[in-house]
Amino acid sequence: MTDVLSPYHNEPVRFAYWVSNLSGGQVVSKVDQRTGWDFDYNVKLARAAEAAGFDFALSATRFVGGYRADGQHEASTFAMSLLNATERLNVIVAVMTGFWHPAVVAKLGATGDHISKGRWHLNIVSGWFKHEFDVLGVPWLDHDDRYRRSSEFIKVLKGIWTEDEFTFHGDFYNINGYHLNPKPTFKPHPLIFQGGSSTAARRMAAEHSDWYFTNGGTIDELHAQAVQVKQGAAGFGRKLRVGANAFIIARDTEAEAREVHAEILANADPAAVAGFAEAVKQAGQSTPDGVGNWAKSTAADLVQPNDGFKTNLIGTPEQVARRIVALKRAGIDLVLAGFLHFQDEVEYFGRRVYPLVRELEAEAARRSPEAVLAG
């Protein structure tokens, strides 16, 4: 592995899960999913995830239905309620920059930060679902311009959160001496996550974001992305951490886990998968260089909408734990997890997988050259 990853090797890998605020579950399949999307279910899930060792919960944003998700709870409101129901869990609020003004989000975030005592964070979504913009009459920008707008959005957020009086004049936003009080308690500002894996997304992450979320992939694919974005951030004198999406199927035997995966694929909803494949052409396939989310995804990959099967966290608890530690060695600092039966499987993960990950990390630290020198 390359030196750009070494500052992060001694940090434990972190875990996040997808808040179930959208209907339809985490797979585009007619297989049984014991996952609710109502508030009471999500409170139980958040508390279970907190007890299982999860650091973050990501509250997704959608405004119109698609690929079986025909119902959506608004991300920021849902997130605040979950923060009030937990004690340690950090909640990441997804915000689509085309639908919000950064000053509004800055004020909302500062208030959320104070109420939650620093556990409110933000995921910047540049947008890929053109139909969503068309339905609401919001102008649709070309792919790279959507990331330019998001870059300005982050600049404005940081300025408002950290400067006493902030002025900014850009291509998308103009701020004239705005003063926000109170400022967030989390310093220097709430963590800024972002999604995407295109060249424009990687450039934006390197220059502006604290965390870079990418779709699932093989270890080699994720390693290449991690190295590129972390090297890019180092060029700006910054540190950047990387999270990767993964659909986790941990069972007592590998055969059982593989059977669950096969059942999901066998019961895939062909029409919904095809509709999703058409919708995501506005993502990676629309970029100038053909690089980005879903640019090379197959129909089987799209059954889990964020390529979670590609990360291959499918098997026994020990197999899944070892692959998570291998992802960490490849430069992945966080696993963003989806599950078939969320509540049951989050609890199982906490009992059977999480302790093994920590044991393997401790063992790796004892064997590392740095540990030998220090001892």
pLDDT at position 140 is: 93
pLDDT at position 304 is: 86
Of 106 and 64, which is predicted with more confidence? 106
Average pLDDT over every residue of 315-336: 98
pLDDT at position 1 is: 45
pLDDT at position 273 is: 72
Q: Which residues of 26-37 are buried (b: 16+ CB within 10 A; e: fewer)?
A: bbbbebebebbb
Average pLDDT over every residue of 24-46: 94
Strands 120-125, 192-194: parallel, antiparallel or unpaired by DSSP? parallel
Rounded to whole angstroms, what are the CA distances from 291 to 214, 329, 365?
A: 12, 24, 35
pLDDT at position 375 is: 28
91 has pLDDT over 80: yes
CA distance 171 to 244: 31
**Lowest-pLDDT choice from 25-34, 229-238, 349-358:** 25-34
Q: How confident is the model at residue 300 (pLDDT cuts 50, 70, 90)?
A: confident
Of 193, 156, 152, the closest CA to residue 60 belongs to: 193
Average pLDDT over every residue of 74-83: 95
Of 265, 216, 213, 246, the closest CA to residue 345 belongs to: 246
Q: How confident is the model at residue 302 (pLDDT cuts 50, 70, 90)?
A: confident
Average pLDDT over every residue of 246-254: 98
- Judged by phi (left if over 0) then psi (alpha if -120 to 50, else beta), residue 235 lies in alpha
2 has pLDDT over 90: no
113 touches 82 (CB < 8 A): no
Q: Which helix (H) or strand (E) holds 249?
A: strand 249-250
Residue 12, preceding peptide bond in cis (omega within 30° of 0)? no
Rounded to whole angstroms, what are the CA distances from 245 to 17, 96, 304?
A: 9, 19, 10
144 touches 200 (CB < 8 A): yes
Exposed, middle or buried by CB within 10 Å (0-12, 13-18, 19+), for 234? Answer: middle
pLDDT at position 372 is: 34
Handedness of CA 72, 57, 158, 161 (dihedral sign): positive
**Whole-number mean pLDDT of the chain?**
90
Q: How confident is the model at residue 9 (pLDDT cuts 50, 70, 90)?
A: low
Of 364 and 119, which is predicted with more confidence? 119
Average pLDDT over every residue of 314-339: 98
221 has pLDDT over 80: yes
234 has pLDDT over 50: yes
Rounded to whole angstroms, what are the CA distances from 349 to 15, 72, 316, 352, 353?
A: 11, 26, 11, 5, 5
284 has pLDDT over 70: no
Question: Which residue ranges make up each domain of the chain?
Answer: 11-364
Span 161-176, pLDDT tens digits: 999 999 999 999 999 9
pLDDT at position 162 is: 98
pLDDT at position 294 is: 52
Of 132, 154, 130, 156, the closest CA to residue 143 belongs to: 130
Q: How confident is the model at residue 374 (pLDDT cuts 50, 70, 90)?
A: very low
Give percent of the chain with pLDDT exceeding 70. 88
Of 153 and 295, which is predicted with more confidence? 153
Q: Does domain 11-364 have CATH number 3.20.20.30?
A: yes
Any residues with CB less than 8 A from the CB of 69 and at least 6 apart, and which? 22, 23, 24, 62
- pTM for the model: 0.92
pLDDT at position 4 is: 66
CA distance 212 to 243: 6
333 touches 243 (CB < 8 A): yes
CA distance 93 to 96: 10
371 has pLDDT over 80: no
Handedness of CA 8, 183, 157, 162 (dihedral sign): negative
CA distance 314 to 216: 13
Q: How confident is the model at residue 329 (pLDDT cuts 50, 70, 90)?
A: very high
61 has pLDDT over 80: yes
pLDDT at position 51 is: 98
